[in-house]
Chains A and B, each alone.
Chain A
Amino acid sequence: MSYANLRTLLPKNDILNFAVLALILVVVLPLSMDLFRLNLIGKYLTYSFVALGLVLCWGYGGILSLGQGVFFGLGGYAMAMFLKIEASSPENTAIQSTPGIPDFMDWNQLTELPWFWQPFHSLTFTVIAIIVIPSIFAYIIGVAMFKRRVGGVYFAIITQAVAAILTILIIGQQGYTGGVNGITDLRTLFGWDIRTNEAKYIFYFLCVFMLFLCLGVAQYVRKSKLGRLLVAMREMEDRVRFSGYDVANFKIFVFCLGSAFAAIGGAMFTLQVGFMSPTFVGIVPSIEMVIFCAVGGRLSIFGAVYGALLVNWAKSTFSESFPELWLFAMGALFIGVVMAFPDGLAGLYSKYGEPHVTRLLDRFTSSKSKTSGDSDLPPEMEAEGGNS
């Protein structure tokens, strides 16, 4: 890839954004926080995967899914099923009437592992399943809806219904899913105890690594023509269609991508928190994930991360000390962000912070880039109108 192409893909201010985020997540937080707090940050970061997917789907593509918890849950459950099978070895479960199956199955009079649990004996299958199963599910929903031109609020309501269906199903079928408690008491990964301090550090950094991987993919997508097409579709769908594009395919793609991100987040959640339950699947958590994205700025992939961190940090601080006030604050956040700050934190930053930063950056780099940089390439105008 040529220098010019790289510049388009990763403009100066985005390099800075990546660098600052990496500094915070890899250096500042691990050094300044005890393990308990860091583990909490890791948990919040798993939501930022979902918010990141929503930036692409909702912010860029204009597709608001109120069912992202479904994909977060599918990823999380896939991971949890693998760990649960390992935790339910015949030695560990010798006191059960049927040893060798998860405890909740035993309590519900199941005598053997159901067929859809069987493949989760394999870690390879599990890792593939974490990404592929939610993507296929999203693909099915996407094809059914977008090929028939269902969008906007209808899509939002239907995804919400899907979230409701899956929650009811998980809670209702407790013999197969662990019911309302979810899949708990996960212990080891190939005999390696996942509850130790060492494991927690490793999972935190794994989570940060995966997040940057997803951020990289998201950055590539939004800087490609597909990113500009999404913006174009959001505004003038018919014009895109009558420029020879099959609009539905692009929506399906971005919805699947967002779902895969969410599922990775879910798997990271299970690893770090040690359980998965329907509380993270249903209508309420799904819509809360939207607010993480909205607070960060629906057009900013970095904003998604900061939004998820900030809202969750506020949530745990508030609900520790003033549990009553939290719902008021959350409600006010929904209303305030939508009515007063539709571009969220990123919008505020690009209005008040970024001009100064850019000036500073230019001062530092101007001497070098004058000689080599300016080609006949058109300047990369920000497709989304100044946010990054």
Chain B
Amino acid sequence: MFADYTTSELMSIFAMQGFSGLILFSVFVLMALGLAIIFGQMGVINMAHGEFMILGAYVTYLTSNVFSEYMPALFGGYFFVAMILAFIAAGALGMLVEWAMIRHLYHRPLDTLLATWGLSLILQQLYRTIFGAREVGVTLPDWLMGSVQITDIIEVPINGIFVMTLAVGISVLIAALMYRSRWGIQVRSVVQNRPMAGAVGINTARVDRLTFGLGCGIAGVAGSAFTMIGSTGPTSGQLYIVDTFLVVVFGGAASLLGTIASAFTISQAQSTMEFFLSGSMAKVLTLLFVVFILMLRPQGLFSLKVRR
């Protein structure tokens, strides 16, 4: 399959595919981070995670419309406002869902999975009713358009670089929150020993709600970033949910570093294969690869051997 290309062409292809893999990686990381927090820390499977992401995307779409309508002068900066709004909207909805639904199902993980699937159906139809079945896209501000020429063959789009930067920034922020802040310590202590955490005065119900809200909020931000590189439809979220779950499981559910590493592996594998095979076969092979590895190492790539 490589015979038709010269070495330098091949190098460039790998570089370009590597870069588009990096964009995919960024989307995976942003989506998976929220999921990793919810699944890894709380053990809750949230099948509506994709819909929380799409909520963020729609919020961004609305914000960009408002800006171009009323404040065209500030249009260049709308994205940052949109991102914050997306976080708040998705986070608030997440906390509501936790209060109304999830908290009643903590001991029944499989039932949570089904209930959140129901939620995802409702949200999808809600989006369809409000925004229509067609995909919507946002207008990128000027400074995000165009691309940077690196060599004569390799060029990288600016919006891609932006999304990547965002993914890195948010990962660092989350890591700091989980491992440095007082709240992060509370979350991890609740995960490890709920009764004990409750006994030392941590309001475990509140920690649960905030954790779930944070995970959903990050999904909202992911959706916001997603608008930079693609358009949004009511069912866009569902397309990513299985991939994202595999990313989280593959990385070892409780490890943020694992999540990032596995997002990198999967996205790179997929985008590199995509160039040589059809898109669908690349996806099949990637999924098969992940499932195969999980069968060999069910606890995921990064997890500790602990005393039971």
Q: A residues within 8 Å of B by Cβ?
A: 58, 62, 64, 66, 144-145, 148-150, 152-154, 156-158, 160-162, 164-165, 168-169, 171-172, 283-284, 287, 290-291, 294, 324, 327-328, 330-339, 342
B110 touching A153 by the CB < 8 A rule? yes
User: Which residues of chain A are near B111, meaning CB under 8 Å?
Assistant: 338, 342
Pairs A-B, 8 closest by C-beta atoms:
A334-B118, A172-B280, A331-B122, A331-B121, A327-B125, A335-B118, A144-B295, A331-B118
B109 touching A169 by the CB < 8 A rule? no
Q: B residues within 8 Å of A by Cβ?
A: 43, 45, 101, 104-105, 108-115, 117-125, 128-129, 238, 242, 245-246, 249, 278, 280-281, 283-284, 287-288, 290-291, 294-295, 298
B115 touching A160 by the CB < 8 A rule? no
Most buried by A among B43, B128, B280: B280
Given A331-B119, A335-B115, A160-B101 contact (CB < 8 Å): no
Main secondary structure of the interface of B (DSSP, over half): helix
Q: How far does the Cβ of A108 sit from chain B's closest Cβ, in whole Å?
A: 13
Which residue on A lies nearest to B235, using beta carbons? A284
In whole angstroms, how far apart are the Cα atoms of A248 and B111 in the complex? 23
Q: Total contacts A to B, CB within 8 angstroms?
A: 117
In whole angstroms, how far apart are the Cα atoms of A329 and B278 in the complex? 37
User: Which residues of chain B are near A335, meaning CB under 8 Å?
Assistant: 101, 115, 118-119, 122
In whole angstroms, how far apart are the Cα atoms of A149 and B45 in the complex? 19
In whole angstroms, how far apart are the Cα atoms of A339 and B101 in the complex? 8
Given A158-B291, A161-B291, A331-B119, A291-B125 contact (CB < 8 Å): no
A64 touching B110 by the CB < 8 A rule? yes
Given A161-B290, A168-B284, A152-B118 contact (CB < 8 Å): no
B278 touching A172 by the CB < 8 A rule? yes
User: Which residues of chain B are near A172, meaning CB under 8 Å?
Assistant: 278, 280-281, 284
User: Which residues of chain A are near B109, meaning CB under 8 Å?
Assistant: 152-153
Q: How far does the Cβ of B302 sit from chain A's closest Cβ, in whole Å?
A: 15
In whole angstroms, how far apart are the Cα atoms of A338 and B102 in the complex? 11
A324 touching B125 by the CB < 8 A rule? yes
Q: 18 A–B contact pairs at CB < 8 A? A: A58-B110, A148-B295, A152-B109, A153-B109, A153-B110, A156-B113, A157-B45, A157-B246, A161-B242, A172-B278, A327-B124, A327-B128, A331-B118, A331-B119, A334-B114, A334-B117, A334-B118, A339-B101
- Which residue from B118, B242, B249 sits with its C-beta under 8 Å from A338? B118
A331 touching B287 by the CB < 8 A rule? no
User: Which residues of chain B are near A342, meaning CB under 8 Å?
Assistant: 111
A339 touching B105 by the CB < 8 A rule? yes
Which residue on B lies nearest to A326, using beta carbons? B125
B114 touching A290 by the CB < 8 A rule? yes
Given A157-B246, A334-B114, A169-B121 contact (CB < 8 Å): no
Given A165-B284, A172-B280, A152-B298 contact (CB < 8 Å): no
Which residue on B lies nearest to A165, using beta carbons? B287
User: Which residues of chain B are near A62, meaning CB under 8 Å?
Assistant: 110
Q: How far does the Cβ of A151 sit from chain B's closest Cβ, in whole Å?
A: 9
In whole angstroms, how far apart are the Cα atoms of A343 and B117 in the complex? 18
- Which residue from A64, A161, A171, A328 sits with its C-beta under 8 Å from B287? A161
In whole angstroms, how far apart are the Cα atoms of A225 and B252 in the complex? 37
Given A64-B113, A161-B246, A168-B280 contact (CB < 8 Å): yes
User: Which residues of chain B are near A148, meaning CB under 8 Å?
Assistant: 295, 298
Q: How far does the Cβ of B103 sit from chain A's closest Cβ, in whole Å?
A: 11
Given A328-B122, A332-B122, A339-B242 contact (CB < 8 Å): no
User: Which residues of chain B are near A168, meaning CB under 8 Å?
Assistant: 280, 283-284, 287
Most buried by B among A64, A66, A339: A339
